Amino acid sequence: MQQRRFGPFTVSAIGLGCMNLSHAYGTPPSAEQGERVLLSALDAGVTLFDTASLYGFGANETLVGRVLKAHRGRFTLASKGGMAGVTGDDGVVRRVIDGRPEAIRKNCEDSLRRLQTDVIDLYYLHRWDKKVPIEESVGAMSRLVEQGKVRALGLSEVSAATLRKAHAVHPIGALQTEYSLWTRNPEIAVLEACRELGTTFVAFSPVARGFLCDAVHDVMAFDAKDIRRSMPRFEPGHHARNLALLPGYRQLAKEAGCTPAQLAIAWLLHKDGNIIPIPGTTSVEHLREDLGAADVKLDASLLQRLEAHVNQQTVSGHRYGAQARAEVDTEDYAA
């Protein structure tokens, strides 16, 4: 497996986003299947595992901790706080964004316990709580570094301006946001800011939440709890228009001698040596397919045609619905 820099660490060029094993796309796989995926990734040379307090309201960290604790020295562990499941007076667990120092401290302590480790290698602020200055939240996270509970800091779904404010308080080792052929927002400003500051850019949803795997054809079949139900691009009208992109996209993958999923990930690897994609999957077979993208070579002509075919102008619909758009701080293209 090729290696890339991740904050102060060196990790596999493709990491594993662990969210799918516990969260977001309907009924999660069994614990046994999750274990198979995690251990298969480790055996295949993956050395970056990405989880969060939010995923499964702690279930994902618990899974990662239980399965990988015996191998802790073999990989770099990233998790996130500042957005977690909180149980209300009615007994219902709800997602809450809370960037207050006391909340961040508690999130981190809870994560360390679930992950069964003494230290988290890179700890992200999952969402900037806009009621709390970013400097205050990052200041609290920097104290976790001083206490030896965290080795490096990261941010998720923030703008270049917010990254720079945070970096002035404490070095930001990594910034994570959605980036793929069909979500190009980071190209507005954040990628350049990361290069300037020496911050690694981590691309989540590199295969467009399954769309660029050529695997999402019937949105009406989504599970009731599948988060894609709230995303405009998967609404029937937008989705029908987006499906028209797939024949040409399949042809480009064929020319490249790879699968559609591998083409999407390989594109990211070719864009910049500072980018690490973290695809997620519940299947060992798909995991191996994704990791095969590291061996795909794309020439300049194919890259140009690929970017012209799938981009912000050719994709129909916004990546997020109104609520999710209000919660992130990323730059956006004009509607």
Segment 101-127, tens digit of pLDDT: 999 999 999 999 999 999 999 999 999
155 lies in a domain? yes
**pLDDT level of residue 200 (50, 70, 90 thresholds):** very high
pLDDT, mean of residues 143-160:
98
CATH number of the domain within which 163 lies: 3.20.20.100
pLDDT tens column, 213-247: 999 999 999 999 999 999 999 999 999 999 999 99
263 lies in a domain? no
Cα separation, 310 vs 307, whole angstroms: 5
Q: Is the pLDDT of residue 335 over 70?
A: no
332 lies in a domain? no
Number of domains present in the structure of the chain: 1
Of 55, 124, 179, 320, catalytic: 55
What is the reported pLDDT for 280? 98
pLDDT tens column, 289-318: 999 999 999 999 999 999 999 999 999 999
What percentage of the chain reaches a pLDDT higher than 70?
100
User: Reduced to 3 states, what is the DSSP secondary structure of residue 156?
Assistant: strand
What is the reported pLDDT for 82? 97
CB 86 within 8 A of CB 238: no
In the chain, the amino acid numbered 233 is R
302 lies in a domain? no
247 lies in a domain? no
Side-chain half-sphere CA neighbours of 7 within 13 A: 23
47 lies in a domain? yes
126 lies in a domain? yes
Cα separation, 151 vs 61, whole angstroms: 18
User: Reduced to 3 states, what is the DSSP secondary structure of residue 324?
Assistant: helix
116 lies in a domain? yes
Query: Domain limits at 90?
Result: 3-210+269-296
Let me know if 320 is a catalytic residue. no
